[in-house]
Chains A and B, each alone.
Chain A
Amino acid sequence: MQCPKCHAPMHTYNRNGVQIEQCSGCRGIFLDYGELEALTRLESQWSGHQPPQAPPAAPAYPAAPAPAWGAPHGSHHGHHGHKRHKSFGHMLFSS
């Protein structure tokens, strides 16, 4: 997996049963759905407090930057059945 911010490889660590990905470049941390809640729960167990209200789930994995005039997200043609449009296949090789 690559860091969405600096694109360096991310390494997986296990912290008290919670899988955490950390970037080898910028040291940023990526949490899957529910992992932040799991960490918060662990923290509150140690400090002896009730778990706080669960925060909203971490946002979805961000896409690479795109210009404002770009196609709306999720409209990538290439995804459909992993078969490219013939016309685009031709375009890849044309001046």
Chain B
Amino acid sequence: MTALLPALTAQARLRARHSDDCACSDPHGVLADRPDATVVRHAQVVAKAHAPGTPEPTLTARLAAAAHPDLADTLLAPLSPRPDRLHDRLVTLWPHGTPVDRDDPDAAPWEAVAALLARLHRTPPTRFQAALPPMRGPEKAARAVARMRAAAPHPAASPVERAWAVLPPWARDEAPYPGPAHLCHGDLHLGQLVRAPEGRWLLIDIDDLGTGNPAWDLARPAAWYACGLLLPEEWTSFLNAYRAAGGPAVPADGADPWPALDVPARALTVQTAALAIAKAVAGERALDEVEETLVDACRRMAAVPPDLAPTCAK
């Protein structure tokens, strides 16, 4: 495990065609080092070691989708079509792209994200040779709730549990999604976006890519807006751009999008609140103001189950 980082760095350097003792001034370093992923960069090459236990056939199918010419304007294409194996981890290689500026979230390219998602969702999943697995959104939500349960008891856990309990089985990863399957990213947030050298934005991170309910990819911004965190104008520009690009997750005609967004936005609110609680317990700290906002939303959700939920402010 400790040997992974230098080996991964060597892999990226090799692909960038730089020598072993390269001391080049090109940017390089560790972009992420988490239990589920290690990502390093050397010059214009990024190497990612995927989570331990990642099945090779599903990662290869996801990689093939990212490499497909139909998605060249949507997903960043990998540098090689198959994963390598390194220290029992599967490794993929990618061209480097510039991420969204974390210090300037007001400049977030909401309309570009929306257009990318619409294009992704409109791509028929039957286009790819290898069948894609289900997207992993509901699985991630279920894992977040499990992580909260594994942490020490916390007073905010019970409203989150109640909000989770009223969700339909497919949203809790207990049944397949019963609706029409679209190609989905599965874990959309502003960190999943890079600007390619020629200037266009592209989606990255294919670990959760697959088929499912496309509204799931809109659900984080939807949840942030519903919880009062994302400004109405940001939400409106995102939603309008998605509709203008023909995205199939919400009705196109200006009708209320919330019947489609309600369940996924609830699930993402629960997921984010559950992770916040798990992290607060681990860090022996209180929930902050934003995290409390999510728990408050969970409290209100339990009182209005999804099938009864009316929408307001038409």
* Segment at the interface with A among B9-17, B87-95, B195-203, B221-229: B221-229
Choose one: B140, B234, B304; the contact of A68 (CB below 8 Å).
B304
A26 nearest in chain B by CB position: B254
Main SS of the interface on chain B?
A: helix
Q: Are B254 and A7 in contact (CB-based, < 8 A)? A: yes
Using A65-B257, A70-B226, A95-B140 as known contacts, say yes or no to A84 and B296 having CB atoms under 8 A apart. Answer: no
B269 nearest in chain A by CB position: A69
Q: Taking the complex as formed, is A81 at the interface, i.e. its CB lies under 8 A from any CB of chain B?
A: no
Q: Taking the complex as formed, is A49 at the interface, i.e. its CB lies under 8 A from any CB of chain B?
A: no
Using A69-B309, A70-B297, A95-B140 as known contacts, say yes or no to A87 and B288 having CB atoms under 8 A apart. Answer: yes
Q: Taking the complex as formed, is B100 at the interface, i.e. its CB lies under 8 A from any CB of chain A?
A: yes
Q: Taking the complex as formed, is B266 at the interface, i.e. its CB lies under 8 A from any CB of chain A?
A: yes
Query: Please, which residues of chain A bring their CB within 8 A of the CB of B314?
Result: 62, 65
Query: Please, which residues of chain B bring their CB within 8 A of the CB of A94?
Result: 189, 191
Q: Taking the complex as formed, is B290 at the interface, i.e. its CB lies under 8 A from any CB of chain A?
A: yes
0 or 1 for each of B271-307: is its CB under 8 Å from A? (1 = yes): 0100000000000000011110100110011011000
Within the complex, the shortest CB–CB distance from A71 to chain B, in Å, comes to: 3
Q: Are A64 and B236 in contact (CB-based, < 8 A)? A: yes
Residue total for A at the interface (Cβ-Cβ under 8 A)? 34
0 or 1 for each of A52-95: is its CB under 8 Å from B? (1 = yes): 00000000001111111111110111110010110111011111
Query: Please, which residues of chain B bring their CB within 8 A of the CB of A29?
Result: none
Choose one: B231, B288, B289, B310; the contact of A76 (CB below 8 Å).
B231
Range class of the B interface residue count: 35 or more
User: Which A17-76 residues have a C-beta within 8 angstroms of B?
Assistant: 25-26, 62-73, 75-76
Q: Are B313 and A71 in contact (CB-based, < 8 A)? A: no
Q: Are A84 and B105 in contact (CB-based, < 8 A)? A: yes
Query: Please, which residues of chain A bring their CB within 8 A of the CB of B225?
Result: 64, 66, 70
Q: Are B256 and A65 in contact (CB-based, < 8 A)? A: yes
User: Which B223-265 residues have a C-beta within 8 angstroms of A?
Assistant: 224-232, 234-236, 239-240, 243, 253-254, 256-258, 261-262, 265
Q: Are B189 and A88 in contact (CB-based, < 8 A)? A: no
Using A93-B190, A94-B191 as known contacts, say yes or no to A2 and B236 having CB atoms under 8 A apart. Answer: yes
A-B contacts, 19 listed (Cβ < 8 Å): A5-B254, A7-B240, A7-B254, A63-B232, A63-B313, A64-B313, A67-B265, A67-B266, A67-B311, A68-B300, A69-B266, A69-B303, A70-B227, A76-B231, A77-B290, A78-B230, A79-B231, A85-B229, A91-B290
